[in-house]
Amino acid sequence: MPQAEAESSKAHIISVEPGHDTETIMAAAEAIANPVSPCEIGRDPDKVGASGAQDMTNTRIGGLGPSREQNLPSAGRHSKGSASTKPQRESVVREAEDSDYLSDSATETVVADNWTGMLQRAIKAAVNSRLQTQQELEKKDCTIDKLKKSNRKKRCEIEELKDTISMLRKHSNQVEERYKNAETLLREANASTADLRSDIARLSNALPEFTKDDQYFKTKFSGIFYSLENWVLQYFMHSKIDSSNILLLPTELRVGLSEIWGEGWKAFALEETLHTIEAVAILVIQSMIFDTRILGILGDSLPKIEEYFGSCSVDEINNWRMQTTRMIVEDKGFPARLKQRVCEVVEHIDKLLGPLGDDTLRRAVKRMRGLKAIVEEAAELALECNKEPATFHFRTYTLGSQCQAKYMTDAHRTVDDEGLGDDGACVKFTVSPAVLRVPTSNANDEPIIIMKARVVRHLQGPSRGSQTRDDIESITGPQLDQAFGSSENQV
């Protein structure tokens, strides 16, 4: 009966926690099925193995333990001595058997309790391990879900970018197509415009309207002459022409002043050094820039061509001149030739006036840079004059010419224009010329005064013959060309 209860207890222990680690539970069940022998009670449970179980089994198979075998001969001896001790011996035998059985049952109970504790600990460890594994799996599942969501989001963004790129490509193709169409239309429009211009130039004898008014040209010319005046004051303020250095001036300058001012040029240069320097710079710009067709870049070829137009009207010649000027100026190679011409004029002025400067090399570079800017502005203005249906004249008045308020102003600004000739003063020399515009549509029209000449006056009697108001003589053509080098005196 106690053995049956032990077996039932083992079965109950094995089945208490189903679903756990199978290998751990089976190992514990096998250990319970093979308990240690009574002789090994008190040993370390971990050292109880199959040998102890085998010894215990052999003991049970024998039926009695060593104490029982020792009692059997004693019982036999007593049976020979007295029959009254037989029940007593049987009682002793039964007590021994019961004691052995109880001892075996107690041993099995202790072993079962030990293995039950071990099994419970193993089950608890297995459960904890499984819970930990499940938690790690859940964390990994969460991470995987996040990665999947991130991948889906990136795929959506990629799809959106693909759609955007596709739309941009489509729009770019449309823009490119419209651009090509616009280029085609522009070429057609340019061709039509060129044809119309050719027809106008060929068929129309009407003079084009003025593109710039008189005030525009007055502002431009006065700005250039005023810039030259400031340039001279800035870089030649301390320069002085005297008897010690007048013969050291460049020969070309001395010859030019002699041609323009006559024999008294030395006295004028000694008295009016700054105005002399300014007058020389303006005379060079006038002869090399304003008095030439297209800045003299083409030499005298244009005037010679116009000589063959003797049978043509003035308007036709002007139309040809303006159209030719526009075509030449719009040529791709013209800016380089214009730059070269500007450098030639600047170098020529510096060659004439450089010896009068007492500045350092650095200051000389700044002086050349400022002069170049003025000459460039003058060149642009000369080209604008070439495109106008009019002729521009520049009058430089000679020594002894009568001062006239209509055409002149005092260079020293000491006398008002209204009273310029009231005191009987005459012209000593011209600092900047008068600028006149003569419309070519009607040769009888009076010239329009764009800008008055700036002259230096003197109160002594004229030495080269005075001029009347109705008959004004001026230095033009050969005299100015011989002095400072150009062959045409009108634009």
Span of 9-13, 25-29, 277-281, 310-314 with lowest mean pLDDT: 9-13
CA gap 364, 355 in Å, rounded: 11
For all residues of the chain together, what is the average pLDDT? 76
Helix axes 214-235 and 361-386, enclosed angle (nearest 10): 170
Cα separations (Å) of 282 from 186, 238, 438, 473?
44, 20, 21, 19
What one-character DSSP code corresponds to residue 69? H
Q: Is 296 left (phi over 0), alpha (psi -120 to 50) or beta?
A: left
User: Per-residue pLDDT averaged across 18-27, rounded?
Assistant: 54
Give the residue, 179 or 460, on which the prediction is more confident: 179
Per-residue pLDDT band at 278 (split at 50, 70, 90): very high
What pLDDT is attached to residue 157? 92
Number of alpha carbons in the 13 Å side-chain half-sphere of residue 168 = 6
Highest mean pLDDT among 47-56, 194-203, 212-221, 369-378: 369-378
What pLDDT is attached to residue 347? 93
The model's pLDDT over 348-372, given as tens digits with 9 standing for 90+, comes to 999 888 888 766 778 888 999 999 9
User: Per-residue pLDDT averaged across 327-348, rounded?
Assistant: 90
CA gap 434, 397 in Å, rounded: 9
User: How buried is 401 (Cβ within 10 angstroms: 0-12 exposed, 13-18 middle, 19+ buried)?
Assistant: buried
User: Per-residue pLDDT averaged across 289-304, rounded?
Assistant: 78
Query: What's phi and psi for 451, nearest 5 deg?
Result: -155, 140
Give the residue, 388 or 122, on which the prediction is more confident: 122
Tokens encoding 370: 């400022």
Q: Under a CB-based contact definition with an 8 Å cutoff, are residues 229 and 278 in contact?
A: yes
Tokens encoding 167: 């739309």
Nearest to 98 by CA among 66, 64, 58, 71: 64
What pLDDT is attached to residue 245? 77
What pLDDT is attached to residue 78? 45
What pLDDT is attached to residue 286? 92
Dihedral sign of CA atoms 23, 29, 34, 39 in order: positive
What pLDDT is attached to residue 41? 43
What pLDDT is attached to residue 305? 76
What pLDDT is attached to residue 371? 94
Give the residue, 349 or 202, on which the prediction is more confident: 349
User: Per-residue pLDDT averaged across 269-297, rounded?
Assistant: 88
What pLDDT is attached to residue 370? 94
CA gap 229, 286 in Å, rounded: 15
What pLDDT is attached to residue 310? 66
Q: Are strands 434-439 and 448-451 parallel, antiparallel or unpaired?
A: antiparallel
The model's pLDDT over 191-201, given as tens digits with 9 standing for 90+, comes to 888 777 766 65
Per-residue pLDDT band at 231 (split at 50, 70, 90): very high
What pLDDT is attached to residue 270? 85
Contacting residues for 484 by C-beta, under 8 A, at least 6 apart? 256, 283, 284, 286, 287, 288
What pLDDT is attached to residue 48? 41
Beta bridge partners of 434: 395
Q: Are strands 408-410 and 434-439 parallel, antiparallel or unpaired?
A: unpaired
Helix axes 22-33 and 86-203, enclosed angle (nearest 10): 170
User: Per-residue pLDDT averaged across 12-40, rounded?
Assistant: 51
CA gap 40, 28 in Å, rounded: 19
What pLDDT is attached to residue 361? 79
Q: Under a CB-based contact definition with an 8 Å cutoff, are residues 160 and 55 in contact?
A: no
What pLDDT is attached to residue 389? 80
Whether 15 shows a pLDDT value over 50: the answer reads no
Query: What's phi and psi for 103, nearest 5 deg?
Result: -65, -45
Cα separations (Å) of 458 from 97, 243, 472?
171, 21, 18
Per-residue pLDDT band at 39 (split at 50, 70, 90): very low
Q: Under a CB-based contact definition with an 8 Å cutoff, are residues 375 and 343 in contact?
A: no
Which amino acid, one-letter code, is at 330? Answer: E
Cα separations (Å) of 415 from 15, 421, 434?
136, 9, 18
Length of the chain in residues, anyone? 491
The share of the chain scoring above pLDDT 70, in percent, equals: 71
User: Per-residue pLDDT averaged across 313-332, rounded?
Assistant: 81
Cα separations (Å) of 51 from 64, 217, 389?
19, 133, 137
Place of tokens 């400031």: 230
Question: Would you list the DSSP string of 351-386?
Answer: HHHGGG----HHHHHHHHHHHHHHHHHHHHHHHHHH
